[in-house]
């Protein structure tokens, strides 16, 4: 898949992530200049996992985003539709219960989790609103959601620099470090096509979540949207 559109074929997207799994974490570190680690720490802080809580980490990939929840004493379930990612993750974190699952048809019962989160994966769900509905379904009443996703920089001059980086600088950097650099062209284009902060918040409301708030990170390059399931 080389073009980002709203009719993403889940099988093609899963295959793309299978191909980049081996060097996925390294590539993310390089392309984000190390910022991805700070973004993930912000997700954990906002979720605020408590010992004994059940947390779903959707689009968990290799489990790098899931391990901090386990370290905090929560029962975290890393879930992803890329079997390649899950295999790499199981080697790195053998104690985590990695689970294969489609974000639009999650393999969990209603009201299963105290908190759900997805980082840099909502863009890749075929229907993001349906994905948010599924996350709502598996969250208990009063449970919380945190979505970490790329968004629109808030300062207009920086916005232009950012788009230029995505489309011009990112592909050659990816060619140097990624196991499948063409996939990062798709990722860059999917980021450009993604709604801004308010646009994504409206999709939360459409899916049935309660009041939505968001926090800009790194000047709005990344945004954390969070809400609570109505009781």
**pLDDT number for residue 104:** 95
**Tokens encoding 111:** 């009201």
What's the average model confidence in pLDDT over 171-197? 71
Instruction: Give me the mean pLDDT over the 3-30 stretch.
Output: 53
pTM to 2 decimal places = 0.84
Distance separating alpha carbons of residues 21 and 18, to the nearest angstrom: 5
* pLDDT at site 42: 97
Express as a percent the part of the chain with pLDDT over 90.
Answer: 59
For 68-105, how does the pLDDT look when each residue is reduced to its tens digit (9 = 90+)?
A: 999 999 999 999 998 988 999 999 999 999 999 999 99
pLDDT tens, residue by residue, 20-68: 545 555 455 545 556 778 999 999 999 999 999 999 999 998 999 999 9
Give, in order, the Cα–Cα distances in Å from 177 to each of 24, 87, 128, 161: 9, 20, 29, 22
What rounded mean pLDDT belongs to the chain?
85
CB burial of residue 223 (10 Å; 0-12, 13-18, 19+): buried
């Amino acid at each position: 898949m080389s073009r980002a559109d709203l009719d993403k074929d889940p099988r093609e997207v899963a295959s793309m992530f299978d191909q980049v799994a081996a060097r996925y974490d390294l590539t993310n570190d390089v392309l984000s200049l190390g910022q991805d680690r700070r973004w993930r720490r912000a997700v954990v802080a906002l979720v605020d996992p408590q010992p004994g809580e059940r947390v779903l980490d959707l689009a968990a990939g290799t489990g790098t985003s899931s391990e901090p929840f386990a370290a905090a004493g929560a029962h975290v379930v890393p879930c992803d539709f890329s079997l390649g990612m899950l295999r790499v993750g199981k080697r790195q974190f053998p104690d985590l219960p990695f689970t294969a699952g489609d974000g639009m048809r999650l393999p969990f019962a209603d009201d299963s989790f105290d908190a759900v989160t997805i980082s840099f994966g909502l863009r890749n769900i075929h229907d993001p609103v349906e994905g948010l509905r599924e996350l709502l379904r598996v969250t208990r009443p009063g449970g919380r959601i945190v979505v970490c996703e790329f968004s629109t920089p808030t300062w207009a001059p920086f916005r232009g620099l950012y788009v230029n980086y995505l489309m011009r600088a990112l592909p050659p950097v990816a060619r140097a470090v990624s196991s499948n650099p063409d996939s990062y062209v798709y990722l860059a284009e999917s980021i450009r096509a993604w709604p801004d902060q308010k646009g994504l918040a409206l999709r939360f409301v459409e899916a049935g979540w309660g009041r939505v708030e968001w926090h800009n990170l790194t000047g709005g390059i990344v945004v954390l949207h969070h809400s609570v399931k109505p009781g």
